[in-house]
Amino acid sequence: MPDPRPCRYIFITGGVVSSLGKGLAAASIAALLESRGLRISLLKFDPYLNVDPGTMSPFQHGEVFVTDDGAETDLDLGHYERFTHLTLTRANNVTAGRVYETVLAKERRGDYLGKTVQVIPHVTNEIKDAIRRVSDNVDIVIVEIGGTVGDIESLPFLEAIRQMRQEVGRENALFIHLTLVPFIAAAGELKTKPTQHSVRELREIGIQADIVLCRTDRFLPPELKAKIALFCNVAEEAVITAKDAGSIYEVPVLLGDQGLDKLALRYLHLDAPDADLSQWRQLIDRVNHPQGEVAIAIAGKYTDYEDSYKSLKEALVHAALAHRLKLRLDWVDTGALEGRSQEEVAARFAGVNGILVPGGFGGRGIEGMLAAIQYARESGTPFFGICLGMQCAVIEFARHVAGLGDANSSEFDPSTPHRVIYKLRELRGVEEMGGTMRLGAWACQLVPGSRAAQAYGALAISERHRHRYEFNRDYEAQLTAAGLEISGSSPDRTYVEVVEIPSHPWFLGCQFHPEFKSRSLAPHPLFCAFVGAARTRRSHGGASQAQNSEPGAVPAWGPGGSQTGASESGTRGAAAPGPAPKKCSSSPVPA
């Protein structure tokens, strides 16, 4: 039976500069509304012409976030899931490339009956259809428009949401504009002119902002709010300070304390219970009052741009907070480790309590990853390898323990005599890059008594994947005889999913990406176990302080922020869906 209540819409735009944190604003508003018992959906529009971000460089776009249904999406969907209880799909992220691809496919099929295909109405109609597709059985859809007002490529999306408000009724749609109010140190003043111009540019295309979120480094004084309200044609109470925060997890509370959710519901003529932010306040208390510290090195290929590992970083933060620990991250570029002696590698990692080697593609920095893994294995330092990190752990073990000196992956050396890692059998002969990996949620069966099974508290799990290469089971007997344990496999035993070294204090690699399922209020069990092992090593005198970390140097709110200074599912296959990640046993944080 169709829901008689009309769906409401909140459209979030950004102005002045990019990277102000529209994604975090959208996620925080969703968290506030969800805490009131409302049913929420989110949608991110990206104005670039790529069909999806799957083939984009991590240095340009940051992380590719993977959903259960195998969509390669914008990293903002990671914020959406981490701040809410939602499990999103490919319908929740739409690019200009996908819109134009759909329109042109319809034109080729003759769907437009010979009409001239134009941006208005054909492209804008496709954009509105994408909004409607995520509008079923929810109270509010929050739509984030990527890019900055004034960009040519975002104009069709802005025109579409202008039309959408006309179609659904003004009382059912709300425009929130995130803008910058910079502090000019030389003048000693906050300047509102960029915000005035940005809102005016929106008005020129027919959109009047209802609420203005002002990104700034300090709270706006009342007289400045009054000035912005006057020139931007909004109520004074609708000028909200989006102040830099020490932790991104303070943002929902920061906005809620200023009444943003209450104001939005009033504008949308919606009644809802009061927000319950008690869990968020508990989380902030853990951020501000840690009872210890743990130092983790992330040894990867893209460490110059931290957003390349956004979900990974946040999953470590979640786990550290669950243990009431302050997280110190040491970003290690594995390219810089190549050619170094074992003593130099040991010196580089001497200050850390755990080493994590993340995913990636291509041969650059691989020998440095292997050096980091060898150090972790030989020194007893807790090690966690994810996707490529697991594959490199297998290569390192094959070379230095199993006696296969030339072992490698066919990705890095097609002529290697020992292909312990090779291309997925179903992808052999497939050279196209976009969407040709093993993607999305797949079932995994764990071995009883393994560290993975102990962490999950279950044997049947489901995790998200994004890989093109796999463990070569032809070498299974040789590697397991040397001490490697295969502790997780696909239900049909085709794919190796988890490997461990039982004789090591904590050494685990997984082919999937557990970071994609870690939530702010429900940390992932593997990260909890890894951080717990690192804490144990620290308490036993394994290390003291991470090198080259700068806790608190950059405000955390927004894509450019840093968390290092803060205390810091569907499935395919034969097995039933696995359980949601359980809480860390040491953590009373509500799931």
Q: Output the pLDDT for position 3.
A: 54
Residues 267 and 321 in one domain: no
428, 431, 433, 436 alpha-carbon torsion, rounded to 10°: -30
Residues in the chain: 591
Q: Which two tokens stand for residue 241?
A: 């300070």
Backbone dihedral angles phi then psi of residue 418, each to the nearest 5 degrees: -125, 90
Reference 30, options 46, 50, 14, 8; nearest CA is 8
Q: What is the DSSP-derived secondary structure letter of residue 467?
A: E
Q: How does pLDDT run across 150-177, given as a tens digit for each residue?
A: 999 999 999 999 999 999 999 999 999 9
Q: How does pLDDT run across 382-430, given as a tens digit for each residue?
A: 999 999 999 999 999 999 999 999 999 999 999 999 999 998 866 555 5
Residues 183 and 324 in one domain: no
Residues 209 and 191 in one domain: yes
Q: What is the DSSP string of 90-120?
A: GGGEEEHHHHHHHHHHHHHHTTTTTPPP-II
Residue 427 in domain: no
Residue 1 in domain: no
Q: What is the DSSP-derived secondary structure letter of residue 246?
A: S
Residue 503 in domain: yes
Residues 59 and 135 in one domain: yes
CATH code at position 405: 3.40.50.880
Residues 274 and 325 in one domain: no
Per the CB < 8 A criterion, the answer to whether 74 and 44 are in contact is yes
Reference 202, options 235, 165, 162; nearest CA is 162
Residues 281-287, mean pLDDT to the nearest whole number? 95
Q: For residue 28, how far is the Cα from the chain centroid?
A: 14
Reference 461, options 486, 489, 492, 439; nearest CA is 489
Q: Tell me the pLDDT band of 326, cut-offs 50, 70 and 90.
A: very high
Residues 326 and 409 in one domain: yes
Domain count along the chain? 2
Residue 345 in domain: yes
* Between 38 and 360, the higher pLDDT residue: 38
Residues 24 and 41 in one domain: yes
Q: Tell me the pLDDT band of 553, cut-offs 50, 70 and 90.
A: very low
CATH code at position 97: 3.40.50.300
Residues 355 and 278 in one domain: no
Q: Output the pLDDT for position 431.
A: 56
Reference 348, options 508, 548, 504, 507; nearest CA is 548
Q: Which residues contact 469 (CB under 8 A, 6 or more apart)?
A: 391, 409, 410, 411, 421, 422, 423, 424
Reference 310, options 497, 81, 20, 91; nearest CA is 81
Task: State which of 222, 249, 282 marks the end of a domain.
Answer: 282
Task: State which of 492, 521, 539 marks the end of a domain.
Answer: 539
- Whether 206 has a pLDDT exceeding 90, the answer reads yes
Task: State which of 225, 257, 282 marks the end of a domain.
Answer: 282
Q: Output the pLDDT for position 75.
A: 92
Residues 129 and 155 in one domain: yes
Catalytic positions: 387, 513, 515
Residue 462 CA to residue 460 CA, distance in Å, equals 7
Q: Output the pLDDT for position 429.
A: 52
Residue 54 in domain: yes
| Domain range enclosing 320 | 291-422+464-539
Percent of the chain with pLDDT over 90: 81
Lowest mean pLDDT among 275-284, 431-440, 446-455, 567-576: 567-576
Residues 255 and 349 in one domain: no
Residues 254 and 401 in one domain: no
Residue 444 in domain: no
> Could you tell me the pTM of the whole model?
0.89
Residue 432 in domain: no
Residue 141 in domain: yes
Q: Tell me the pLDDT band of 93, cut-offs 50, 70 and 90.
A: very high
Q: For residue 120, how far is the Cα from the chain centroid?
A: 33
First to last CA, the chain: 32
Residues 242-246, mean pLDDT to the nearest whole number? 93
Residues 251 and 326 in one domain: no
Q: Tell me the pLDDT band of 361, cut-offs 50, 70 and 90.
A: confident
